[in-house]
Structure 1
Amino acid sequence: MPRPTLLFDGDCGFCTRSAEVARRVLPAGVAVTAWQFADLAALGTTAERAQREALWIGADGRVAGGATAVSRALRAAGGVWLLLGWLLAVPPVSWLAQVVYRVVAANRMRLPGGTPACAAPHRSPPSSAV
């Protein structure tokens, strides 16, 4: 059975810093990986999708993106994060979360930890990705 995985943009400083936080709060059994170094086909997704949004791949293989991915990762973290994750999953909060996620994603190069690479076109993943 595959383990849950959170994919993020390894070329983006803001995303990388967010992934560092995720590594601290998520259980040891969850992989937090830059999409550029993941076997996307084996995870059931594509580089095109991974370039657009953070992705959560559950143990069941289902892929969620954007605010839904954040919600599922928070629920997996447990504790107080679990409550926040469930809140983000309930309409109308979930609708607002999607809008906020898109605004943050579109402006990530302006956020703390963001770099010009956050706004640059992404490169294709290596063909021998792990």
Structure 2
Amino acid sequence: MAPHPPVLVFDGDCAFCTSSARLLARLRRSPGDFAVEPWQRLDLPALGLTEEQCSQAVQWVARDGRVSAAERGIARSLLASRVMVRPVGALLLAPAVRPLAGVVYRWVARNRSRMPGGTPACALPPAGTQGEDTRP
């Protein structure tokens, strides 16, 4: 895979995810540091991603093509951001904190429709219905 600018890939159909992505975009040192894009607008195979991966968790695709998902993706984007938030990214990747960060990320992902800015469209499909549109 050819090098490309890093990109944080999020679910653009989710209002909570979109609001969170906007916040992360504001934390960049400059817009050229990394892109913040909804997966619905990207050529996912070119990034080594699938729709299923992107609908389940945020994805960080590094310049070299390595992918970090969920809390690790958030941590990597923070490490590439302004100096004031880099320690938070490092903390999220610390072996003692990473398991708890994963639990928190999964809880937020399951409950994103109830989070500030969330809507019923933010709800993840029930387990076992991957690929089916279960939104009203």
Matched AA of 1:95: P
The aligned length equals: 124
1:7-59: CA deviation from partner (whole Å, max 9, x where unpaired): 00001010000111111112322110000111100011111100100000001
Please report the TM-score for the alignment, with normalisation by the length of structure 1: 0.90
- 1:61 maps to 65
- 1:28 maps to 31
Distance 1:4 1:47 in 2: 18
Moved more, 35-44 or 19-28: 19-28
* Partner SS for 1:91: coil
Superposition RMSD on alpha carbons, in Å? Answer: 1.6
Q: Given the alignment of the two structures, is residue 108 of structure 1 paired with residue 112 of structure 2, yes or no?
A: yes
Choose between structure 1 and 2: higher helix proportion: 1
Segments of structure 2 that go 5 or more residues without pairing to the other structure are none
Which one scores higher on RCO, CA 8 angstroms, separation ≥ 6?
1
Report the identity percentage. 47
Q: Given the alignment of the two structures, is residue 5 of structure 1 paired with residue 12 of structure 2, yes or no?
A: no
Q: Given the alignment of the two structures, is residue 88 of structure 1 paired with residue 96 of structure 2, yes or no?
A: no
Please report the TM-score for the alignment, with normalisation by the length of structure 2: 0.86
Question: Is the 8 Å Cα contact of residues 60 and 77 (structure 2) preserved in structure 1?
Answer: yes
